[in-house]
Structure 1
Amino acid sequence: MMREQLFALLLLAAGCLARNNGVSSNLVNREITRHIDLKTQVAHISYEYVIENTGSSAVPNFLFALESHHGKQLSFLGATDDEKNSLKVTENVEVQPSSNAYFARIAFASPLAAGAKTTVTVSAVIPAIVTPFPAEITQSEKQLVRYSGNHYVLSPYATDSQTTSVELANKNVESMSRLQPVNVNEAKIKYGPYENVAAMASDELSLHYENNAPYLSIRDLDRKIEISHWGNVAVEETIDMVHAGAKLKGSFSRLDFQRNPAQAAQAAVLHFKTILPATARDVYYRDEIGNISTSHMLEKEDSVELDIRPRFPLFGGWKTHYYTGYNVPSHEYLERYGSQYRLTMRAVDHVYDDQHVQKLTVRVILPEGAKNIKVETPYTMEQGPQTLHYTYLDTFGRPVVTLAANNLVQDHIQDFVLTYEFDSTIMLQEPLLVVGALYLLFLVVIVYVRLDFSLKPKQA
């Protein structure tokens, strides 16, 4: 009897697994509207699905598909329903039968009943999918880039009607694929509508066009956050940045650049804007040589804009390494509940528009004596082993929490939460050390002045 029950449970589990990993034949895409934004080096793609359940039972989720080369570069994927509620997204799932595509499972807010329809909006951000072509250009040449995709919206379900609109940086298009019907209006291209599209239908979409947008990429961003219970949070970022566009062919002419920067360096990056918190003060911008005085800072009501101008224009393949830092009052980010403290800060901040961070490391330096440390991150981040940091008047070291993540974009500018316990009496340690050191110093001076170390006898 026990064997029969165990066998039945195994069959039930296998059936559930097959349903989760398989494609439901009950779902049909009644309409799909896709918008592809290619104005920058980061592709922003939004989808609007009108989905109907044609079966006889409720369906809890549906499968979202991407071309495999897009899935490998995918940085952010989010979904909402028709009431703008966020939906749970499980990325990179295996689907049976297997196919050469990237799949994500998106759960409906509530199981889609038989015969019911729903609208789901999906947002995908894919950096480094728009590549320079040719790969090298001279100083005064315009930058041409290439995008490769699919005329059809890839889906494991049949689609009644679908439309795709593409928005480019400008109207200068060298070449493009034309699967009819297609309409071109200045910098906007509309493909479709395509009717009765089969599941997983594919037809290559290719675009070759001009785009002189800043093709910047941050190879490494080291963000250090130092907490002080004396009312301050110090933030410093060390950034390794590269111009990932078409590489500069030949030598750089400073004379041509000085005469007409707009014409002689069309694809070069001359400056970019970093946004800091509104309460940021003591802001600095430096590199290995020292302070860079060409930057400008504008204080607004809700932010501080730092216009960063490197010491030299950044052409394709050129790199820069610099530091930015500032202080903010701790009461805006640190909450106290007795001996419990709660820090809420951004894991990554706005470095430049449409940013792409290949590697991020966040180091949070807590006050000496902090314990029972817990971290909650808004997305998957790897937490490294806890280390110690020593600075002035420290005795047993300050705990350091290290977080790391890769392939981040603008949508990852979100808060993480760090909680810890701290005994406030430990704050007296540093003042007492200073007082004790001064007391010993004065005591030594008093003893030294009052004692006579002379070898000569005193005269009567």
Structure 2
Amino acid sequence: MGCQCADSDSRSDEASEAHRSAATVLGRNPYPHAFLDCHRGLPLLLLLLLLFALGLPVSGKYSFDDIEIAGTADVSLPLPRPFDATACSFHHLAQQQKLLLALQQLQHAKSRPLIQDAQVEALIKASLSGLITEEAERFIKFGRQAEISVKLKFTNRGKSPVSSVFILLPYSEATQLGWITASGQKGKQLEVQSVLPPLPSISTLRWEDWGLRPLLLEQTEHHLKSASDGGGNSFVSPCWPHIFRLQLQEALPVSESTTLTVSYVLGRPYRPVPRTLDLESIQSVLFATSSNWPLPYKTLRSTLSLQLPPQTTLGEEGERHMSQKSFRKLPGEMWKWESTDPIDPLEIMQPFAVIFPLPQHLGYVLTMERLLVVPLSGTAVCKDLYKVHNDAALQEGAFNPVTIALLQGLPPGISRLAAKGRDVPRSERVPTHVLFDLHATLPPDVFNLDVGDSAGNLTSTFASRYGPQGARLSTHLEVWPRFPVLGGWNFDLKVSYDMPVSSLILQHGVNGGKISLNIPLGPPFQDLYAEYISLTVALPTGAINIRYSSTVEFEYVEETTVKWWLDVVTSRPALRLKWHSASLPPTEHKGHYLTVTFDYPYSVDLEHLKKAFILFLLLLIATISTVLYHWKLRFSNTTEEVPAAAQYVAFGRLKNELMHKTEAAICEGRVYMESMSAARRGNPESSEKQKRAHEQEERWLESMRQHEADLIASLEAAPGTNGANSSVGVFKKALERHREAVLAFTTALLNNWKEKTEEAIQEVEASTEHLRGLAREWKGSSLKQHEA
């Protein structure tokens, strides 16, 4: 595993670098005020005592790398796991214990200048309070997450009442804390306060041997034991524990006892073993902890109970290993350890590791970004972005779709959408570490629900209301990713919905312009732990004096502004918050909420004014467009507008004249063709009729020449046309084509050529349409494009 202590090559090298090592430790220690200032003239004995408490020179083989911290855009695999910092956490607990002993041996007046760090001061206060832990019973329930419950019985053996109790979590647990709560004897909730701000996320550490399980287990426990004893070299990484203060409801009198219960959830407690696995295999996970729960008080009796997941066993080898650790097996796959030996403050007793199969996906929300737009009335809009990661073992070998279908209990080739049908045969799901579907719980009154992935859609999404008709309790959302999320894979999810803003506003908070909002903070997904959470709450335009309160300790809070719909010249005040991790608490515990309070000094909702302003702009634009259209305004000087208008009118008249003359020529040709057809019905071979036909042909040709002359005269008289010559040529060719088509018809008709008569009729129709098109589309420019 990554928590490895480097061995020292020689003690002489460490002794020769004592001064450099001390400077290195002081430079890297996050609590520099807790150490001696050499310029204050304290005795050399005290300096040596504190240097002993700080440990041996640091080793550069164990270090964090901020570059490897997972970001929202791209993630390098494998992702960091808090498990890899377990040994480092135990080592720093041992260092804290040595520091605490060193400070306790000093006189109060001399140690007071050293205690300028909040965590060190809390540890000193706890050690001097006189509290004794009579019993510490810890219960760990393994699942996709690790649920831990600790029952503590304290007795005040000091000289004064105690109003607060301090507890601590090792760094490896504090960096994956989903939620934590504490209660008193009668189940009343106690306030849990962090002595210092929450710890940042852990970074990736070195991977250890992923070989045989016994070898891996032995190596893990060897490093845990070496680190908890404080031996070997110090770790470079600052894996300091995180201390919490529990404020009692009533001060605990002297010689009295009280019982407290601390419950919390670890979001990513395991490391999959082995690192890679095929789809058919059942993954195992490795969990490491100490037999006792470290406390800043002396503990007289300590117990630990481990509850394995359903239908899970440790196997013969695992049971033998637990028996060697003095664990005894209880019914229901529960293992228990207990010790009546007194345990000193901050002492780590018997660190160990346990391996067991866990056929579940280890999916968690890698990043969670939320935007909530809250108006004063109407509808609130929520837009969420989730990046889900499966922390399970990576896939080994090729992807097999048949195996994926069988793991879901589906016949190969059947889509997952068809699995919802009752007529599709489906067997029970096979336990696997592949993530197939997600389940979320949304507010009961959401509507306009829209779900999509990074590509814009999903394979399938199902939503339904839960609860009796008229009194819905929640909205259940079921999401099936487009592809099954294997170990090490990511999946982006976008969820947006609307909800009545009345469900967020506290009615008792609306008084004289003062409005309070109650916003849930927990992730919506069931059994899914979330990290890197950010929430932006956009308030109504005009909101002032923004305040907030919450049981969650935020890492970052900023007041800013955002733009939303209708914000043309305005913006909305917003509250942006960020915190490290969260998970849904069990049903018996209350979730976390954010209360935002602001003042609204206006008697009218400004959103209505925004809508009125937008309507006014639209009406103004429509009015201006109508006026410009009717007045026919042109952005040019007046000297150019008048000739252009006159030329436009002249062209319109000329175009109508051309169309009229063209229709006259076409009509006269049609009359000539009808007269020839009527003459053909009698005796066409008589000399009188032949003479009459010849005369009609002469009159028609003369009329066509007159029409052609009129058209050409009109075209040549067109004002300001540069392409008149080309237009005249085009019209001449069109008239000549029409004349030849009519003559071809009369010739074929007189000679009784039926086929040629039909062809001539088609050519007459084509030439007629060509002439009409020229007259209709003429714009005073070149008409060469019509020659085709």
TM-score with structure 1 setting the length? 0.86
Paired position in structure 2 for 1:295: 461
Paired position in structure 2 for 1:351: 525
Q: Does the Cα contact within 8 Å between 1:87 and 1:109 map onto a contact in 2?
A: yes
Paired position in structure 2 for 1:4: none
Is residue 177 of structure 1 aligned with residue 322 of structure 2?
A: yes
Q: Does the Cα contact within 8 Å between 1:393 and 1:433 map onto a contact in 2?
A: no
Paired position in structure 2 for 1:111: 251
Paired position in structure 2 for 1:198: 343
Paired position in structure 2 for 1:418: 596
Shift of 1:368: 2.8
Paired position in structure 2 for 1:310: 481
Distance in 2 between residues matched to 1:101 and 1:357, nearest whole Å: 21
Is residue 276 of structure 1 aligned with residue 442 of structure 2?
A: yes
Distance in 1 between residues matched to 2:267 and 2:381, nearest whole Å: 30
Is residue 80 of structure 1 aligned with residue 183 of structure 2?
A: yes
Q: Deviations over 1:40-97 (max 9, x none)?
A: 2x22211111211233432333332444533444443322110222223343579xxx
Is residue 122 of structure 1 aligned with residue 297 of structure 2?
A: no
Is residue 27 of structure 1 aligned with residue 205 of structure 2?
A: no
Q: Deviations over 1:239-275 (max 9, x none)?
A: 1111011111222111222244357771101112100
- Give the partner amino acid of 2:560: Q
Is residue 240 of structure 1 aligned with residue 387 of structure 2?
A: yes
Closer, same or farther: CA 265–161 of 1 in aligned 2, 3 Å = closer
Greater share of strand: 1
Q: Does the Cα contact within 8 Å between 2:522 and 2:583 map onto a contact in 1?
A: no
Highest Rg: 1 or 2? 2
SS state of the match for residue 360, structure 1?
A: strand
Distance in 1 between residues matched to 2:366 and 2:481, nearest whole Å: 17
Q: Does the Cα contact within 8 Å between 2:390 and 2:487 map onto a contact in 1?
A: yes
Distance in 2 between residues matched to 1:425 and 1:45, nearest whole Å: 48
SS state of the match for residue 386, structure 1?
A: strand
Closer, same or farther: CA 70–400 of 1 in aligned 2, 3 Å = closer
2:141 is aligned, of 37, 55, 58, to 37
Paired position in structure 2 for 1:61: 164
Distance in 2 between residues matched to 1:433 and 1:74, nearest whole Å: 49
Q: Does the Cα contact within 8 Å between 1:139 and 1:264 map onto a contact in 2?
A: no
Closer, same or farther: CA 445–204 of 1 in aligned 2, 3 Å = closer
- Give the partner amino acid of 2:501: S
Paired position in structure 1 for 2:372: 225
Q: Does the Cα contact within 8 Å between 1:183 and 1:191 map onto a contact in 2?
A: no
Paired position in structure 2 for 1:383: 557
Q: Does the Cα contact within 8 Å between 1:48 and 1:120 map onto a contact in 2?
A: yes
- Give the partner amino acid of 1:198: I
Q: Deviations over 1:307-366 (max 9, x none)?
A: 11111111110110110111111111125434332221113332232x211101111122
Distance in 1 between residues matched to 2:174 and 2:523, nearest whole Å: 25
Closer, same or farther: CA 452–108 of 1 in aligned 2, 3 Å = closer
Paired position in structure 1 for 2:421: none
Shift of 1:375: 2.4
Distance in 1 between residues matched to 2:326 and 2:569, nearest whole Å: 73
Shift of 1:446: 4.9
Closer, same or farther: CA 294–113 of 1 in aligned 2, 3 Å = same
Distance in 2 between residues matched to 1:72 and 1:259, nearest whole Å: 37
Q: Does the Cα contact within 8 Å between 1:140 and 1:264 map onto a contact in 2?
A: no
Paired position in structure 2 for 1:342: 516
Distance in 1 between residues matched to 2:526 and 2:404, nearest whole Å: 24
Is residue 436 of structure 1 aligned with residue 616 of structure 2?
A: yes
Distance in 2 between residues matched to 1:399 and 1:189, nearest whole Å: 54
2:571 is aligned, of 397, 400, 410, to 397
SS state of the match for residue 88, structure 1?
A: strand
Structure 1 stretch 58-67 or stretch 356-365: which is displaced more?
A: 58-67
Q: Does the Cα contact within 8 Å between 2:166 and 2:243 map onto a contact in 1?
A: yes
Q: Deviations over 1:185-243 (max 9, x none)?
A: 34321223x21332225102321001122311211111011123341011111111110
Greater share of helix: 2
Shift of 1:439: 3.4
Closer, same or farther: CA 425–125 of 1 in aligned 2, 3 Å = closer
Distance in 1 between residues matched to 2:489 and 2:121, nearest whole Å: 50
Closer, same or farther: CA 421–111 of 1 in aligned 2, 3 Å = closer
Q: Does the Cα contact within 8 Å between 1:350 and 1:413 map onto a contact in 2?
A: no
1:189 is aligned, of 317, 332, 335, to 335
Q: Does the Cα contact within 8 Å between 1:93 and 1:105 map onto a contact in 2?
A: no
Query: Larger RCO: Structure 1 or Structure 2 (Cα < 8 Å, ≥ 6 residues apart)?
Result: 1
1:451 is aligned, of 617, 631, 641, to 631
1:373 is aligned, of 546, 560, 563, to 546
Segments of 5+ residues of structure 2 without an aligned counterpart are 1-107, 198-229, 231-239, 410-428, 467-471, 634-641, 651-788
Structure 1 stretch 211-220 or stretch 58-67: which is displaced more?
A: 58-67
Distance in 2 between residues matched to 1:261 and 1:390, nearest whole Å: 43
SS state of the match for residue 128, structure 2?
A: coil
Distance in 2 between residues matched to 1:67 and 1:391, nearest whole Å: 47
Distance in 2 between residues matched to 1:329 and 1:304, nearest whole Å: 14
Shift of 1:452: 6.3
Closer, same or farther: CA 447–296 of 1 in aligned 2, 3 Å = closer
Distance in 2 between residues matched to 1:446 and 1:312, nearest whole Å: 54
Give % identity: 17
TM-score with structure 2 setting the length? 0.52
SS state of the match for residue 255, structure 2?
A: coil
- Give the partner amino acid of 2:355: H
Q: Deviations over 1:108-165 (max 9, x none)?
A: 3222212111111111322222221112111111010011111223234333333221
